Amino acid sequence: MANPNDIPLEVFRTGMQAALRGTLLMLERQQRLLAFQLKAVDQAIAGSKEIVNEVSHAGTVADLAALPAALMRQQTEQYTRLCEEYTALASHNQAELAEHLREAGDSWQKLQGNATAGPQFAMPMPAPVQEWFDRFGQFNSVLTNAFLQPNAAHGNGAAGHEAAARARSRRGE
């Protein structure tokens, strides 16, 4: 018979699963970032080859004089596309992380509910385990607010509007 003061195996399993999922998300994010960088380098090489080709085929001084403007236009278009793609990648990464945090918090709350319910747990949970649950609950609520409510963090939510109004009133606006 197990000692009722033993920490349930599920506590360790849940924490391990959350940590491994977080590690997997970081590795997938790194892989996407490397693919993005490789694509940017490929585009830069192709653009350089195109410019070399245009310089080689320039027949007049006017053709050579037009190349800097064409190069500037081409690079501006390329950097704009790269910025848009990187913004989409960053948004995707943030959404994945927020979902992971939500799932980890939900599983931890379910685990806590299961661990404290039933006749086998008529005794109170051991203090160290209860402290883990309490700390993770606080940590999860802070991270959830930070990642799932980005508008409030950036001043676009209700709390942000209130803070901005207080700052304006202090400045006398």
Q: Per-domain residue ranges for the chain?
A: 24-109, 129-173
Residue 125 CA to its chain's centroid (Å): 34
Query: Where residue 124 falls among pLDDT bands split at 50, 70, 90?
Result: low
Residue 157 has pLDDT above 60, yes or no: no
Query: Where residue 48 falls among pLDDT bands split at 50, 70, 90?
Result: confident
What pTM did the predictor assign?
0.54
* Over residues 139-155, mean pLDDT: 57
54: tokens are 């245009």
Percent residues over pLDDT 70 in the chain = 61
* Over residues 137-143, mean pLDDT: 66
Taking each helix axis as running N to C, give the angle between helix 9-56 and helix 61-116, from 0 to 180 degrees, rounded to the nearest 10.
Answer: 170
Query: Where residue 35 falls among pLDDT bands split at 50, 70, 90?
Result: very high
Distance CA 117, CA 155 (A): 41
Residue length of the chain = 173
The label of the residue with tokens 């997997």 reads 24
Cβ proximity of 11 and 129 under 8 Å: yes
Q: Over 124-164, what HEC string results?
A: CCCHHHHHHHHHHHHHHHHHHHHHHCHHHHCCCCHHHHHHH
Distance CA 143, CA 156 (A): 18
Residue 41 has pLDDT above 70, yes or no: yes
pLDDT tens, residue by residue, 59-104: 888 888 888 888 888 888 888 989 999 999 999 988 888 888 888 8
The label of the residue with tokens 């943030």 reads 94
